[in-house]
């Protein structure tokens, strides 16, 4: 579904993303991990077509052929790190706005479906500014899903949420596995363990390690080890 080849992005003299390559198979969940400033969000913005890369190529395999992000934005959904929620619109109005922007064929039905899936029925008439952090994140992801995208990007989807709110979002996102391709960035190791089929660890703009959890365990000599243990070892110079 998604092919990233030698992607490079600079901000002035700073190399934010440094020659990274990977593929994400259709229907799988791919997690990008890394410390602050590792390049995760910049990579996601390039993959969504929000930033133009300085080098490399990003391609999507669609039913009509292979295309760069600019040619297939209608199949992409993004929930950014900062909630993309209209503060003065109700939850229902936020969803209806996105449905109208994407030309959803049955906007009322789709809005009702998203309100139900994300447990937002009781909040449907609550304005964005009055939503709790957990409900705001749910609404932001629901807005990204309103157009039934083939590829969903989640940039720190549970950042700042309490344990129960985080796990409820994991349950919802887990229900989407196999129905669409998901690329997520996260600082929560247990989130990547719970959701991702493959994991890439970024360090100073480069991919320092990549593979399934079992593959990363084997490469780093940590059979049965947690992803946090593996991450620390990679950051300290472990195997790739």
pLDDT tens digits, 40-87: 999 999 999 999 999 999 999 877 778 888 877 788 999 998 878 999
User: What is the domain extent for residue 29?
Assistant: 2-79+150-235
Look at residue 24 and tell me if it is in a domain: yes
Most confident listed range (65-69, 165-169, 196-200, 224-228): 196-200
Look at residue 110 and tell me if it is in a domain: no
Q: How confident is the model at residue 233, as a pLDDT? A: 92
Does the pTM exceed 0.85?
A: yes
DSSP-assigned letters across all residues of 114-163: HHHHTT-GGGTTSBGGGS-HHHHHHHHHHHHHTT--SEEEEESTTTT--H
Is pLDDT of 239 > 60? no
| Backbone dihedral angles phi then psi of residue 71, each to the nearest 5 degrees | -95, 0
Contact by Cβ (8 Å): 142, 154: no
Work out how many domains the chain is built from and give that number. Answer: 1
Q: Give the mean model confidence (pLDDT) for residues 126-146.
A: 93
The angle that helices 91-102 and 133-145 make with each other, rounded to 10 degrees, is 20
Look at residue 53 and tell me if it is in a domain: yes
Look at residue 162 and tell me if it is in a domain: yes
Round to whole Å and give the CA distance between 191 and 17.
23
Q: Give the mean model confidence (pLDDT) for residues 127-136.
A: 93
209: CATH: 3.40.50.300
Q: Give the mean model confidence (pLDDT) for residues 175-196.
A: 93
**Is residue 107 within a helix (H) or strand (E), and if so which, with residue range?**
helix 107-117
Look at residue 10 and tell me if it is in a domain: yes
Q: How confident is the model at residue 141, as a pLDDT? A: 93
Q: How confident is the model at residue 70, as a pLDDT? A: 80
Average pLDDT, the chain: 92
Is pLDDT of 238 > 60? no
Residue 129, by phi and psi: left (phi above 0), alpha (psi -120 to 50) or beta?
Answer: alpha
Look at residue 169 and tell me if it is in a domain: yes
Look at residue 129 and tell me if it is in a domain: no
Is pLDDT of 228 > 70? yes
Count of helix runs (H) and strand runs (E) in the chain: 8, 10
Look at residue 89 and tell me if it is in a domain: no
| CB contact burial 49-86 (16+ within 10 A = b; e otherwise) | bebebeebebbbbeeeeeeebeebbebbbbbbeebbbb
């Amino acid at each position: 579904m998604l092919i990233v080849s030698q992607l490079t992005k600079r901000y002035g003299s700073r190399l934010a993303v440094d020659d990274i390559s990977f593929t994400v198979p259709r229907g799988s969940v791919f997690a990008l991990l890394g410390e602050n400033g590792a390049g995760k969000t910049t990579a996601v913005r390039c993959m969504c077509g929000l930033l133009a890369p300085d080098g490399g190529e990003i391609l999507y395999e669609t039913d009509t052929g292979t295309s760069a992000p600019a040619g297939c934005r209608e199949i992409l959904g993004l929930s950014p790190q900062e909630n993309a929620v209209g503060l003065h619109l109700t939850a229902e109005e936020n969803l209806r706005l996105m449905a109208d922007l994407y030309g959803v064929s049955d906007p009322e039905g789709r809005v009702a479906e998203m309100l139900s899936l994300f447990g937002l029925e009781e909040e449907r008439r609550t304005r964005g500014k009055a939503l709790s952090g957990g409900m705001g994140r749910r609404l932001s992801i629901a807005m990204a899903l309103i157009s039934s995208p083939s590829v969903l990007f989640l940039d720190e989807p549970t950042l700042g949420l309490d344990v129960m709110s985080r796990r409820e979002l994991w349950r919802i996102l887990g229900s989407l596995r196999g129905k669409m391709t998901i690329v997520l960035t996260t600082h929560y190791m247990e989130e990547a363990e719970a959701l991702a089929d493959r994991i890439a660890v970024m360090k100073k703009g480069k991919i320092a390690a990549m593979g399934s959890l079992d593959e990363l365990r084997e490469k780093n000599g940590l059979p049965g080890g947690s992803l946090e243990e593996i991450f620390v070892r990679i950051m300290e110079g472990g195997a790739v």
